[in-house]
Structure 1
Amino acid sequence: MEKFNRYLVTAALPYANGPVHIGHLAGCYLPSDIYVRYLRARKMDVKFVCGTDEHGVPITIKAMQENVSPQDIVDKYYAVIRDSFAAMGISFDIFSRTSRQVHHETAAAFFKEMYDKGLFEERESEQYFDEIKQVFLADRYIIGTCPKCGNDRAYGDQCERCGSSLSPDELINPRSALSDAVPVKRKTKHWYMPLQQYEPWLKQWILEDHKEWKNNVFGQCKSWLDNGLQSRAMTRDSNWGIKVPLPDAEGKVLYVWFDAPIGYISATKELTENWADYWCKEDTRLVHFIGKDN
């Protein structure tokens, strides 16, 4: 007897700063499409949602490199990615995008509800600032020498040669990716999610309840938990993204990894008036197909 009355299937939101390639199709979109077609053949109630992830630092960097606006970049690659999926016959019920108004409203509402419940820590900290460009620098805007392997093109969040996770303060001879100037430290305020408060149930859910996961996935999650989770900023200093819905947050947007996963919900809202049935009811099965980098 069928346990679920409806299915919601999501495929990973491709990032709108370049085209999709055959690896993306083989790893995520063809498998999800096959599964959805199977459910449809069984006459199941199923919605298949996807869309482009359109905020974050790589898009703004690409826009500066091409001397266009971030909106120009995401408009270009949204069309390229949408048309590629259509040409491959991927049968999404909706292919949305996180720059749409419904997504901005939905993600801002999530943040505001969490803020009202006191789930964030408000902190003032010193962050790197480019005095030539007059902007705070996100981690990916800071380049320097990796302290682990000596790569002189490491980013402020990661060295892509040795794979080490980094912070901007760890870089040797940091400089701005925007102007090549040596950045200075200035004070700024952000809202942090105290991930360490959720360690107990995450350990139970990951380490005890999901032993069927692949070894590399289980091991990566276990290493983060073993090292102890830390508070992480859910906002950024930027003019590209979803504005933080607070009165004292001028020039600040939601961190892209806060807003992007909400894109699955906002796409469902855009698709159907009874969207909540697919997210909130116990007799719905939610299935995510994600890329290997996630």
Structure 2
Amino acid sequence: MDYTTIFMAWPYANGPLHLGHVAGNSLPADIQYKYERARGRKVLMCSGSDEHGTPITVTAEERGITPQAVVDEFHEINSKALEDLGCSWNQNIDSRGIEYGGALYNRTTDERHKQIVQDVFLELLNQGLLKKETMQQYC
């Protein structure tokens, strides 16, 4: 059995998705996901809401609410928008999110996501594939 993994960019959860998110990111990945499944491959497609960053803080300040309230609101709105467009976000995935055969639209604050990212980072570090370096910042 052949396996395919599709990684999409994670848009900031500071507002509703727009045409650029869909046409440039979500739709092409969803087409590839469905094509690979039709070929009989097991496919894991991953994306989600990026819940960290200046755009979220700015939106929260403009609206007078917490950054967490912003990301909670727009993660739900954006997840539903993708489902309404017919994107394949069926979560038939194991507890760590690594079983092939599904699609996961997650959140960067999800414990599963944090653990997988940390595991990958530490593996790269332990293999000597990351370089530790400090840069002096100038203003």
Q: TM-score range by the shorter chain?
A: 0.7 to 0.9
Shift in CA distance, 39/107, structure 1 to aligned 2, threshold 3 Å: closer
Shift in CA distance, 111/64, structure 1 to aligned 2, threshold 3 Å: farther
Shift in CA distance, 122/30, structure 1 to aligned 2, threshold 3 Å: closer
- Give the Cα–Cα distance (whole angstroms) in 1 for the partners of residues 85 and 61 of structure 2: 31
Say whether the 8 Å CA contact 2:106–2:113 is kept in structure 1.
no
Q: Secondary structure of 1:43's partner? A: coil
The equivalent of 2:85 in structure 1 is 88
The equivalent of 2:3 in structure 1 is 6
Counterpart residue type for residue 105 of structure 1: Q
Matches within 5 A, 1:232-251: none
Q: Measure how far apart 1:119 and its partner are.
A: 2.9
Q: Measure how far apart 1:46 and its partner are.
A: 1.2
The equivalent of 2:132 in structure 1 is 120
Counterpart residue type for residue 28 of structure 1: N
Counterpart residue type for residue 120 of structure 1: K
Counterpart of 2:19 (choices 10, 17, 22) is: 22
Deviation above 6 Å: which 4+ runs of structure 1? none
The equivalent of 1:104 in structure 2 is 114
Stretches of structure 1 that go unaligned for 5 or more consecutive residues are 126-166, 170-294
2:44 is equivalent to residue 47 of structure 1: yes
Counterpart residue type for residue 110 of structure 2: R
CA offsets 1:101-159 (integer angstroms, 9 cap, x no match): 223334445269749x683234676xxxxxxxxxxxxxxxxxxxxxxxxxxxxxxxxxx
Counterpart residue type for residue 34 of structure 1: I
- Give the Cα–Cα distance (whole angstroms) in 1 for the partners of residues 25 and 82 of structure 2: 12
Counterpart residue type for residue 112 of structure 2: V
**TM-score, structure 2 length as denominator?**
0.74
The equivalent of 2:55 in structure 1 is 58
- Give the Cα–Cα distance (whole angstroms) in 1 for the partners of residues 9 and 74 of structure 2: 16
- Give the Cα–Cα distance (whole angstroms) in 2 for the partners of residues 95 and 35 of structure 1: 16
Query: Which structure has the bigger radius of gyration?
Result: 1
Q: Measure how far apart 1:70 and its partner are.
A: 0.9
Stretches of structure 2 that go unaligned for 5 or more consecutive residues are 90-102
Q: Measure how far apart 1:57 and its partner are.
A: 1.5
Q: Secondary structure of 2:131's partner? A: coil
Q: Secondary structure of 2:76's partner? A: helix
Say whether the 8 Å CA contact 2:13–2:74 is kept in structure 1.
yes
**TM-score, structure 1 length as denominator?**
0.37
Aligned length: 123
Q: Measure how far apart 1:96 and its partner are.
A: 0.4
Structure with greater proportional strand content: 1
Counterpart residue type for residue 88 of structure 1: L
- Give the Cα–Cα distance (whole angstroms) in 2 for the partners of residues 104 and 32 of structure 1: 23
Counterpart of 2:66 (choices 64, 69, 77) is: 69
Say whether the 8 Å CA contact 2:33–2:45 is kept in structure 1.
yes
